[in-house]
Amino acid sequence: MTWCGALNPGGGLSVLPANFIGMENLTETEGLSPLIASAIRLNEVYKSLLTGGFTEDEALSLIAKMTKPNN
């Protein structure tokens, strides 16, 4: 299984399975820094949640929960 890093609000990385970002509408991120690529992926997730009917606050809350490291 392939793993990738995603940014969390605390500034660290949270490890997620690569298939988490395997969405059809993702922007191509090849050749970009890992930080920029993670930001683009999170933006795509955010836009998908909005399209799915979530409010902006709900979408941001879900992304924060998805990227929060396990304590």
Q: What is the pLDDT of residue 71?
A: 54
Q: What is the pLDDT of residue 31?
A: 82
More confident call, 32 vs 64: 64
Residue whose structure tokens are 């399209």: 51
The reported pTM is: 0.56
* pLDDT reading at 42 higher than 70: yes
Tell me the average pLDDT of the chain: 74
Amino acid residing at 30? E
* pLDDT reading at 43 higher than 90: yes
Q: What is the pLDDT of residue 58?
A: 96
**What contacts 7, CB < 8 A, 6 or more positions away?**
13, 14, 35, 38, 39, 42, 67
Question: What residue ranges in 1-71 does DSSP mark as E strands?
Answer: 3-7, 13-17
Q: What phi and psi values does residue 3 have, to the nearest 5 degrees?
A: -120, 150
C-beta of residue 15 within 8 angstroms of C-beta of residue 68: no
Q: What is the DSSP letter of 64?
A: H
